[in-house]
A and B are shown apart, each in its own frame.
Chain A
Amino acid sequence: MNIVVCVKQIPDPATPGALDETTHALKRDGKLILDESDGYGVEMALQLVTTAGEGEVSLVSMAPNGEVSGLRTALAMGAAKGILVSDPTLAGSDALTTARILAAAITKLGKVDLVIAGTESSDGYTGTMPEQLAEILGLASITFAKKVKIEGGIVKVNRQSENGYDEVECPTPALITVTAGVVEPRYPSFKGIMAAKSKPIETVTAGDLGITPVGWAGSDQKIVKVVKAEARQAGQIIEDDGESHGKIVAFLENLKVI
């Protein structure tokens, strides 16, 4: 069972986001970390490989600045190796270009049974890259998985729906996207962190993969304006004195809700 997980390295969500003043793109120049939404995919992949009793977990990632710290986190969790596609021209790439790049990187890895990605990244959240990747690779896909197992070469997924979930199946090879909470990601052990330092990360450029144009030049979209949204005014904020529930009742009465 060979599984590839797409991982994104993003600015720490705890720090406020900012836009570059000329390109209007999200600033990604600080330290990058493994997107929390991808931790679930890495954990899922490790569990599926353990259940299968053979195979390994590989990672693919794309970043303009050679960043590997997020990849190292996933390697410390137990992934075997990674491919990082990195060069400065990648800045500004849209989801379609990103999918083309990652598809080429995955193809380099040879036979793959399953590709796993998050449903959307926490920083850009376009939310289409995995399904675009599946289309480029010619794979069946099951998105928004909240439970996954593989039995006899069939991927069986509980897929979120608007009012519950569907049981969906397809044969491998396939691509799935996993939701947050699908599994509990493990914390890397000290041994895992040490081992990760010597695990291989191959770094390639978009040109090495034969994908051009990329970045701003390859994206058929352009940010033309960024404006402040009309702010919602804060209202009355009070400390609870043991009687504040009365304020809520009065507020609801005033709105004729009760």
Chain B
Amino acid sequence: MTIDNIWVFGQLANGAPTPGTLELLTKARSLASQVSVFLGSEVSSASESLGQYGASKVYATGDLAGKLPGVAVSSAMKDVIDGGDKPSVIFFPQNYDGRDTMARLSVKLGRTVLTNNVDIAESSDGVIATTPIFGGNTLVNTAFTGDGPFLVAFRPKSFVAESVGGAAPQVISAPVGDLGAQGSAKVVASHVEESSGPKLDEANVVVSGGRGLGEAAKYSMIEDLAKLLKGAPGASRAIVDAGWVPYSYQVGQTGKVVKPTVYIAVGISGATQHMVGMKGSKNIIAINKDKEAPIFGIADLGIIGDVHKVIPKLIDALKSRP
């Protein structure tokens, strides 16, 4: 089949499209003549920007009134598909609400899903999605078989968002119908744990700490170093699971994907789960006492040493710079 109509599961933050939404739109418009965005919210002030990145139509459910998007948005999507607008492919972001919505829709349509992808293409084998495995050293190309819509999720930063200067899209209301008991999960309060300074997935410098720090109190070194470098502090899954820092700090497959100019891994051995989230960094510095640590295999500068000695000296050196 030929890809002619792609939908993008879109998300807004403070009324504007998220970077991930614009990345997916950019890729979608390179493959299909018709690209629609499906929002599980009001359109807010996002319409113009979505048009500039290539959307010709925007479906919007309106405010979900605290309902989790998985059940609600998949149901609204199914209604539009049943109404006759059948996309060839639907792009989802590999994040909480993207995953939930994709999974629910998969059952409603009886279609398989491909997740964790970094690319998609059309070839003689059909529509092919590319997934990195084994920490990214191997790429698997998987073809969809059977009929569309094909459901595919992409990791953040798989594509570079570029505006095409498109016209404002047509906005179409796609209300959520009665969901019954399945739709009963409601958000009753929201809490923000983000630290001050640049956002982890947008920072130019990221300094992450791992088990090698030894204890939770030593994480303050990571915060100090990040602050001095105008960067964001991050963490390996090991110390997030241990409760040293909140989940929002986690870099890796199940956390944030970062591609900063400089990534500094402090006391992180480099588990596959972590490397997947940071190996796209332009420059990597690693400090670890174990010279066999896998992180040294991808580091541009590796220091085999005790983080408790190297980092305080580094902090002092940076502070004493003119």
Interface residues of A (CB under 8 A from B): 16-17, 19, 24, 94-96, 99, 119-120, 125-132, 134-136, 138-144, 146, 159-171, 174, 179-181, 219-229, 231-232, 234-240, 242, 244-249, 251-252, 255, 257-258
List the B residue with the shortest CB-CB distance to A249.
Answer: B317
Contacting residue for B111 out of A166, A220, A227, CB 8 A: A220
Instruction: Report yes or no: A164 in contact with B190, Cβ–Cβ below 8 A.
Output: yes
List the B residue with the shortest CB-CB distance to A234.
Answer: B297
- With A and B bound together, what is the CA distance between A127 and B104 in angstroms? 12
| Also in contact, A127 and B115, with CB within 8 A (given A96-B107, A237-B302) | yes
Instruction: Report yes or no: B303 in contact with A244, Cβ–Cβ below 8 A.
Output: yes
Is B157 among interface residues, defined by CB-CB distance under 8 A? Answer: no
B25-33, B41-49, B178-186, B212-220: which lies at the interface? B178-186
- With A and B bound together, what is the CA distance between A146 and B254 in angstroms? 14
| Also in contact, A163 and B317, with CB within 8 A (given A248-B285, A257-B229) | no
List the A residue with the shortest CB-CB distance to B99.
Answer: A127
Instruction: Report yes or no: A229 in contact with B139, Cβ–Cβ below 8 A.
Output: yes
Instruction: Show 26 residue pairs from A and B whose CB-CB distance is below 8 angstroms, ordered by the A residue.
Output: A94-B112, A125-B253, A131-B70, A140-B182, A140-B184, A142-B68, A163-B194, A164-B192, A165-B191, A166-B190, A167-B188, A168-B188, A220-B146, A221-B143, A222-B145, A223-B140, A224-B143, A234-B297, A235-B284, A235-B300, A237-B299, A240-B305, A240-B309, A244-B305, A247-B301, A247-B303
Q: Chain B nearest CB: distance from A131 CB in Å?
A: 3
Q: Chain A nearest CB: distance from B16 CB in Å?
A: 14
Is B198 among interface residues, defined by CB-CB distance under 8 A? Answer: no
Instruction: Report yes or no: A128 in contact with B70, Cβ–Cβ below 8 A.
Output: no
Q: Chain A nearest CB: distance from B317 CB in Å?
A: 5
From B185, B188, B194, B313, residue with most partner A Cβ within 10 Å = B185
Interface residues of B (CB under 8 A from A): 68, 70-71, 74, 94-96, 99-100, 102-104, 106-108, 110-116, 125, 128, 132-134, 136-146, 180-194, 204-205, 229, 237, 240-243, 246-248, 253-254, 261-262, 264, 279, 283-285, 291, 296-306, 309-311, 313-314, 317-318, 321
List the B residue with the shortest CB-CB distance to A253.
Answer: B321
Q: Chain A nearest CB: distance from B245 CB in Å?
A: 11
| Also in contact, A234 and B299, with CB within 8 A (given A128-B115, A132-B107, A226-B140) | yes
Instruction: Report yes or no: B248 in contact with A164, Cβ–Cβ below 8 A.
Output: yes
Instruction: Report yes or no: A221 in contact with B186, Cβ–Cβ below 8 A.
Output: no
| Also in contact, A143 and B100, with CB within 8 A (given A128-B106, A135-B107) | yes
Given A140-B184, A226-B139, 17 new contacts (CB under 8 A): A96-B112, A134-B104, A135-B182, A140-B183, A141-B182, A143-B99, A159-B96, A163-B192, A171-B181, A220-B112, A234-B296, A235-B284, A235-B299, A237-B291, A239-B291, A242-B309, A246-B317
Instruction: Report yes or no: B104 in contact with A229, Cβ–Cβ below 8 A.
Output: no
Instruction: Report yes or no: B113 in contact with A257, Cβ–Cβ below 8 A.
Output: no
Q: CB-CB < 8 A to A221: which residues of B?
A: 112, 114, 142-145
Contacting residue for B141 out of A120, A125, A165, A227, CB 8 A: A227
Instruction: Report yes or no: B303 in contact with A238, Cβ–Cβ below 8 A.
Output: yes
Q: CB-CB < 8 A to B107: which residues of A?
A: 96, 99, 132, 135-136
- With A and B bound together, what is the CA distance between A76 and B268 in angstroms? 33
Q: CB-CB < 8 A to B136: which residues of A?
A: 229
Instruction: Report yes or no: A245 in contact with B304, Cβ–Cβ below 8 A.
Output: no
Instruction: Report yes or no: A132 in contact with B104, Cβ–Cβ below 8 A.
Output: yes
Contacting residue for B139 out of A129, A141, A227, CB 8 A: A227
Instruction: Report yes or no: B302 in contact with A236, Cβ–Cβ below 8 A.
Output: yes
Instruction: Report yes or no: B185 in contact with A224, Cβ–Cβ below 8 A.
Output: no
Instruction: Report yes or no: B146 in contact with A235, Cβ–Cβ below 8 A.
Output: no
| Also in contact, A24 and B140, with CB within 8 A (given A128-B99, A167-B188) | yes
